[in-house]
Structure 1
Amino acid sequence: MRRSAVDDGARCGEWGSVPGLVRWAAERYADVEAVVEGRTRITYGELGARVERSAAACLASGVEPGDRVAIWAPNSLDWMVAALGAVSAGAVLVPLNTRFKGAEAADVLGRSGARLLFVTGTFLGTSYVASLRRAAGRGPGEGPLGGLPALETAVVLSEDAPVGFRTWKDFLAGGDAVGAARVRARADAVDGGRPSDIVFTSGTTGRPKGAVITHAQTLRAYEIWSELAGLRRGDRYLIVNPFFHTFGYKAGVIACLMRGATMIPQPVFNVTTVLANVASERVSVLPGPPTLHQSLLDHPARDTYDLSALRLVVTGAAVVPLRLVERLRDELGVSTVLTAYGLSEASGIVTMCRRGDEPSVIASTSGRAIPGTEVRVVSGAGAVLGPGVPGEVLVRGFNVMRGYYQDEAATAEVLGADGWLRTGDVGVLDEAGNLRITDRVKDMFIVGGFNAYPAEIEQLLGLHPDVADVAVIGVPDARLGEVGKAYVVRRAGSVVTADDLIAWSRREMANYKVPRAVEFVRELPRNASGKVVKGELRGGPARGAVSR
């Protein structure tokens, strides 16, 4: 009889590590369709072989256990093969946000000390290689990017690569001389307690911090996720959530490996493409932010697509309108709609609804703590609060990160000696233990499913020569849920306009961080200690507003 990690973690012990899971899936589901990408269709057996070849190439390039290997590319079969190959070679994966600009990516590459980088070619009209070269092309290092001395090898996931970079084909060919026994020995040596990945996320200071998660944590968390969601063999899973995010990589790729579900990666969210994929591939599983599902329901041509195979939808912590849950069930016949809440520092999952929960619970909460974890709500003084009282959400359990990579001070700020992790989110628990997120201590807002951090955006805007002071808040947006609005104090004599700043921002930061509105003010409202009082900004026109 099959035992699940929800009961006793038996499967985690059987897999041991992510490379152990990859090999297990390749053997168990050898003839099951694993990935569909355009005209390319491969089985789990074929996927396993590709991952082993990727791992061999990593060994040939000098990757040692514990080395950081970064990947900066959109969802694709090559992303899976490159990432899983690196992890199978004992490396620690560092996924980079595809919305990053060159300087943002170079910062994370430098701080992680990545030795090997997989990077896409041109994506959404942007050459990622060119943007990296502008940001880190000069410096004392001898590798492809001198400004990143630790980076020895950069592989472009395409058929062409500039001087100093390697093509994906050439990189893979480099591993052909590495014997299978050596590759498997390296994979077998990966211990479940070792880091599997470092997910960089920004905090209130705007300084990227890398949450370190182990193989064992990943396996246990996403066996639980798969069990609670009801993911099963034969499911066809459209993965629109980006692989650089835990929701895409772990609730997507890792979960599918566990259950033998077919993965259909989609590199960019486009509602028409989603509808076409769901219909043509008989997609049964479609996780994503509420905006994705709302766009699908409201598409004028929706009725021309056959969406009858859809049976499972899982969405994030953002408030989900009850009407959305009802429409997914009534109009599309989706039998299971669930909500969940997580953060990178807790392996991406903290609470989750259960199948059978009432629609009102699913719409108004993010469910209950997953097995093996505890959730509490506390006051500013640290006192535990009862049901119905808002406070900061804390979590403790197997899923909590080992710490921020090489940042003990930042780790100590959020992770206590007693194991409780401060999430920085404000929430309320009900009598049944269901969690409702009500606000964000960190002032974070969510733009179309992407977490945007005001302090980071403020730091970037502060680099503009005409900006003397700035504060950013999230404001409602009909399409994206929330977007940024910047309150800016111009430098003396400046005539910079809102359009100027927005255009500059589009060149300097990821699109979801770009403020959609700018309001110029004479001064920002501050309290006695000098901190900006953002409540006044949210309450209406800012004090001293001069123009838009």
Structure 2
Amino acid sequence: MTAAGPSIAERRADLEREFAPWRPRTLDEHFEHAAARFGPRPYVIAGDRVLTYDDVLHQAHRFADGLATLGVRPGDHVAVLMANYPEYAPLKLAISRAGAVAVPLNYLYRTHELGFVLRQSCARVLITMTSYRDLDYLAMLDELAPGWTRAGSIGFGDLERVITFDAEGRGEGRDGVADVPELARIGAQNPGAAPGGRRHPDQMSDIMYTSGTTGEPKGVQLSHDALLRQEYGSAFCRALPDGNRVVFALPCYHMFGYEHGVQATTFVGGAMLPQPRFDAGEYLRAIERHRVNDVLAVPTMSVALVEHPDRANVDLSSLTRMLSAAAVAPTWLWERIRDDLGVRELTTAYGMTEVAGATVMTQPDDPLEVTASTVGRPKPGGAAAGSAGTVAEYRILDPVTHEPVRPGETGELVSRGPTTMLGYWNRPDATEATLRDGWLYSGDLGRVLGDGSLVITGRSKDVFKSGGELVMPKEVEDFLTTRPGVSQAFVVGVPDDRWGEAGCAFVVAEPGATPDPGQLLEACRSALARFKVPRHVFVLDTDAVPQTPTGKVQKFKLVPMAQRLLGADAAAVRALSPAEPA
């Protein structure tokens, strides 16, 4: 015990006393266990609305009974299109209790994207918001499946029924279409229609779609046990204390928000404060009002928090830990999180949907330089660990020969462990290419330092060839972010008649700075091998960088952006960022 409360070791021991040895459960069985332990405690806090563990369990039972009464059978796929509203958690549990497979959807999808995933996932039921911001989902359905309001054969893939959710109470539903309150009423009239126990922990729980950072999203099949092992591992690695309270605006449909916000919380009887949209001021006010001690963020959110004008006027004394991941954060940002927000336990992580979340993580007591320069070591899983003592075992292989590289050399990360996906839904070729002899080939490049920490150096698909030489963008990006005034850097290869591909760098300025592209190019020429030096540099606002809703940069979209910029005004581009002399 320390002056600040139980130590990291003591908190981990508390978790192990409850969960060792590991007992595989389904998601709904796990929450039944959590509710039995923490029933009257708050689980979901949304402004003035508080749902306890008992409340959420009661709602989940009613929703599950409603789904079963409406014809949802074990193994059916139920898609959920919903932002971070309190109803998300009980609906997700209800799908599990009914024995169905959840298909969480990105609520920023446009019509063609929504149509693709609904068809590809073979969703039989869709639970959807009526609208969100400028997105009208009912109008999208009108375009995709004009007969969608009639339950039965809608005529769009396997879809048979839509259930709506009018989050803002605007009366946006459709006549004859059940909504979420009606689903609860149907369940109340048919108690026991979904008795639970309809799936095995090793069976598929979710089909979670990749974020599309490299193109078309793929549906990742994950088991109940894989998800719970990963989520327990995160609670164990971060040593979450009893009653941990976490605020986040990362979407619940995405692995980051789901693993660390929705689920890890339940192992310690904590509460989550899911935000439907990110607002730094709302984060700060929630921390003060509800005595939040944990924050989930991506670097762009972290910048907004430390730069917010009200930060100094808000009581942040309860805040002790933060997980900032999904993109590289510069050292100055970590220092400001520590110094300006008072966070003592800083962590970052690396993972993939294909391994059910974060498999590599820094420790809460790691020195700041480790958190700022690496993504940590393979995550200790405690009771939920595999045979290696971690949730995943890693190797680094040469991306061409697939032989192990020498210590310290860069190669492709491959892993295996109990949280590995079952495969991609209806994508046997993609599954075969990714899962080989029990190992998952990530497509990510990295190297291991002497202390076992992992440094991510890029994506194998990001590597490009310029003048016959292979260029690893991450090496150039890391150099550019050391230059004064540069917060983030992204390098891509664009087609070039002379070089085959030419490097193009996009940089984001630090607050108040104005980087000069010419000076950045000169710095690259003096420090990097000639073939690594970008031919062009563009300075972008943060909002102009194409990102997924969780802050991952969609680098494949930067290539056509560069081509448009180069083609739109080639003379201006050359003046802005002259090519390296031949």
Task: Report if TM-score (shorter chain) is over 0.5.
Answer: yes
The question of 1:129 aligning with 2:138 is answered yes
Letter in 2 for 1:268: R
Is contact 2:395-2:413 (8 Å) kept? yes
Q: CA deviation at 1:163?
A: 3.7
Letter in 1 for 2:98: A
Output aligned runs, 1:445-456, within 5 Å.
none
Q: CA deviation at 1:140?
A: 10
Output aligned runs, 1:167-206, within 5 Å.
167-180=179-192, 182-183=193-194, 185=195, 187-201=196-210, 206=215
Q: CA deviation at 1:149?
A: 3.8
* 1:378 aligns with one of 397, 404, 416: 397
Q: Which residue of 2 aligns with 1:150?
A: 158
1:211 alignment partner, SS class: strand
State the alpha-carbon separation in 2 of the partners of residues 113 and 479 from structure 1.
Answer: 45
Q: Which residue of 2 aligns with 1:310?
A: 319
Offset from partner CA, 1:328-378 (integer Å, 9 cap, x none): 222222110011100100111220111221111111111111214211221
Identity %: 31
State the alpha-carbon separation in 2 of the partners of residues 67 and 478 from structure 1.
Answer: 48
Distance 1:51 1:357, change over 3 A: same
Question: Which blocks of at least 5 consecutive residues in structure 1 are unaligned?
Answer: 447-451, 456-469, 481-501, 524-536, 544-548
Q: CA deviation at 1:476?
A: 3.0
State the alpha-carbon separation in 2 of the partners of residues 26 and 105 from structure 1.
Answer: 34
* 1:78 aligns with one of 50, 70, 87: 87
State the alpha-carbon separation in 2 of the partners of residues 206 and 143 from structure 1.
Answer: 33
Distance 1:542 1:177, change over 3 A: farther
Is contact 2:362-2:376 (8 Å) kept? yes
Is contact 1:119-1:154 (8 Å) kept? yes
TM-score (norm 2): 0.75
The question of 1:476 aligning with 2:507 is answered yes
Output aligned runs, 1:398-409, within 5 Å.
398-409=418-429
1:252 alignment partner, SS class: helix
Distance 1:202 1:169, change over 3 A: closer
* 1:17 aligns with one of 19, 26, 30: 26
Q: Which residue of 1 aligns with 2:539?
A: none
Q: CA deviation at 1:148?
A: 1.9
Query: What is the aligned residue count?
Result: 481
Q: CA deviation at 1:212?
A: 0.7
Question: Which blocks of at least 5 consecutive residues in structure 2 are unaligned?
Answer: 1-9, 380-389, 464-472, 475-489, 494-500, 512-542, 568-573
State the alpha-carbon separation in 1 of the partners of residues 106 and 257 from structure 2.
Answer: 12
* 2:453 aligns with one of 429, 434, 457: 434
Q: Which residue of 2 aligns with 1:349?
A: 358
The question of 1:359 aligning with 2:378 is answered no
Offset from partner CA, 1:174-230 (integer Å, 9 cap, x none): 1223223x43x3x22321001111111266873321111101111111111001112
Is contact 2:123-2:158 (8 Å) kept? yes
Q: Which residue of 2 aligns with 1:102?
A: 111
* 2:286 aligns with one of 254, 277, 283: 277
Q: CA deviation at 1:416?
A: 0.2
The question of 1:421 aligning with 2:440 is answered yes
State the alpha-carbon separation in 1 of the partners of residues 22 and 124 from structure 2.
Answer: 29
Is contact 1:350-1:395 (8 Å) kept? no
Is contact 2:26-2:96 (8 Å) kept? no
State the alpha-carbon separation in 1 of the partners of residues 579 and 142 from structure 2.
Answer: 40
The question of 1:232 aligning with 2:241 is answered yes
Output aligned runs, 1:506-521, within 5 Å.
517=561, 519-520=563-564
Q: CA deviation at 1:4?
A: 7.7
Distance 1:389 1:172, change over 3 A: same
Tell me which moved more, 145-154 or 75-84: 145-154
Is contact 1:5-1:12 (8 Å) kept? no
2:138 alignment partner, SS class: helix
TM-score (norm 1): 0.79
Q: CA deviation at 1:276?
A: 1.7
